[in-house]
Amino acid sequence: MAKVYDQAYMGGRVVPIQEANVSVASSAVLYGLSVYTVLPIVPGTDGLRAFRVQDHLARLINSARIIGMDIDLSEEAFLGALRMTVEANDISDSTFARCTIHVTELVPGVRSRGLKTDFSIFLYEASCILPKEGARLKTSVWRRVPDYAIPSRAKVNGAYVNSVLARQDAIDSGYDDAIFLDVSGHVCELSAANIFLVRNGALHTPNQASDILEGISRSTLIELARDMDIEVQERSIDLTELYVADEVFACGTSAYLTPVLEIDKRQINEGKAGAITKRLQTKYEEVLRGEDKAYEAYLTQL
Ligand code: PMP
């Protein structure tokens, strides 16, 4: 389990994490009616910085809009809360900030509009959810919930039961994580990371209409690859394309960029991280740490 920092933001102020609670009678608990994002906080030469904060906030607000929650969260308020939380804790290493809007109304029934909400932030130690050296994946017996049932592009707590089922099934079968397919058998993503394959020097990844979460790391990697003159195609992908790919990797805030070395007992690139994967991994980690000046605009000083 990751270490959780002991000061959290809730109800407009910083409180001990034990006091940052929502009621058992709230929609957040009853129906998983909360939307969230997890963003990286990285130490720089002159203090802590947050990665792609505006994009995380935009996705959070869009998630709330899809669900039909009424929220009013400005960038100023969001950053202010993040700074208060960071300052209240003693942070020197890379950290993840989980920022959530909860529907806190008590027993309103199954609806979303016009209900009370609250915003929370807590920080926890940044660690990779996949083995750093490379992951072994299994096709999930559970299909990705389609956009017409529970929208994947909305990061809603309740929807993560789907991810829990898939990852637990993979772990029970001796794998590190699952590959979700959509209802017609096309590749979506992992339980909490997006997926790319490399074939003939080009990157391919499921497009935004493939029932995926629109990952911020995914969009960063598409940009980095194009800037490195690597072709990127966003399209519908068959499972067997992964089996015959030259390289496969997963990406996400908590998955960083992790090579995929085996899928359903088939080795990828003879079980070794590929050259394009390694180049992108090095670049992505430099950008995240603010070591590449060309992408400094992605980092906000806290
Ligand atoms: N897909 C799912 C289902 C996820 O939960 C995550 C993690 N947020 C991702 C992809 C990767 O998104 P990001 O790069 O924004 O962390």
Tens of pLDDT along 262-299? 999 999 999 999 999 999 999 999 999 999 999 999 99
Outline where 120-200 has alpha helix (H). Answer: 160-172
Outline where 25-159 has alpha helix (H). Answer: 27-31, 53-67, 75-88
Q: Is the CB of 178 under 6 A from ligand 1?
A: no
Phi, psi (deg, nearest 5) at residue 203: -95, 140
pLDDT at 9: 98
Q: Is the CB of 20 under 6 A from ligand 1?
A: no
- On the question of pLDDT at 92 being above 90, the answer is no
Residue 217 Cα to ligand 1 midpoint, Å, equals 8
Q: Is the CB of 206 under 6 A from ligand 1?
A: no
**Atom number, ligand 1, closest to the C-alpha of residue 152:** 3
Helix (H) or strand (E) segment spanning residue 282: helix 275-288
Q: Is the CB of 100 under 6 A from ligand 1?
A: no
At residue 75, what is the residue type?
E
Could you tell me the pLDDT band of residue 186, with boundaries at 50, 70 and 90? very high
Q: Are 131 and 176 in contact (CB under 8 A)?
A: yes
Outline where 173-248 has alpha helix (H). Answer: 216-227, 239-243
Ramachandran region, residue 175 (left: φ > 0; alpha: ψ -120 to 50; beta: rest): beta
Q: Is the CB of 193 under 6 A from ligand 1?
A: yes
